[in-house]
Amino acid sequence: MYMQQLSKEEHRKIKVSRHVFPQMKRLPIIIFLDHVNNAPNIGNIFRLADAFLLEKIILCGCVNPSLKRVKQFSRGVNRWVPCEISENPTLTISSLKAQGYSITAVELCDHSLNIISSKLKLPAVLVLGNEIAGISKEMLEICDYAVYIPMSGMGNSLNLSNVAAISAWEAVKEWQHQNLIITN
């Protein structure tokens, strides 16, 4: 069987129009970034949130999302993804909990659950931390529980945007399972 990659124009034809897209229902999954300083990571996470149609990204103590490097790595999708800046993470998380969101730290902690074998509680806020320090102690204290990504190799960590992709994908799969969504 001969396969040919779709052109940009062909790919655009199978997507919804840019006029319809803003009205589309988003999945009840939020990515909360706690003091993330790497512009390429934030840009890649915008692309991820766009690809999976996640509800929004919340930035707390992060680099400015309007920086040229963030926009460059987001490949322009940052304009399509709702984004909020949180000056008070405790208040933001309290509000999300009151709305029924489960606050999930994606961090290796003493009581973390394996993200693959545990079911994520939805709707979900996935909290991801600084590239070096991880999630702040203050944020960990207000999370409902923590999950980790199992790693079999010798390395102890993954790039933050990879962690975001794996955890968001697990949340999307769980949402699809709970809502009996069949995808191609």
The arrangement of strands across the sheet holding 113-114 comes to 83-85, 54-60, 27-34, 124-129, 102-106, 145-148, 113-114
- What pLDDT, on the 0 to 100 scale, is given for residue 65? 64
Q: Token digits for 76? A: 């322009």
pLDDT band at 60 (very low <50, low <70, confident <90, very high): very high
Q: What is the mean pLDDT of residues 149-162?
A: 91
Taking the C-alpha atoms of residue 75 and residue 68, their distance in angstroms, rounded to an integer, is: 11
- The angle that helices 160-178 and 39-51 make with each other, rounded to 10 degrees, is 20
Give me the mean pLDDT over the 16-21 stretch. 77
Assess whether the previous peptide bond of 123 is cis (omega < 30° from 0): yes
- The runs of H, that is alpha helices, within 80-143 are 89-98, 137-142
Give the pLDDT confidence score for residue 69 in this predicted structure.
63
**What does 27-89 look like in DSSP terms, one character per residue?**
EEEEEEEES---HHHHHHHHHHHHHTTEEEEEEESPPPTTSHHHHHHHTTGGGTS-EEE-S-H
Tokens, residue 20: 């319809």
pLDDT value for 17: 77
pLDDT at residue 38 in the model: 85
pTM of the predicted model as reported, rounded to 2 decimal places: 0.88
As assigned by CATH, the class of the 25-178 domain is: alpha beta
Whether the predicted pLDDT of 72 surpasses 70: no
Q: Would you say residue 184 has pLDDT above 80?
A: no
Whole-number Cα distances in Å, 22 to 27, 50, 157? 13, 11, 35
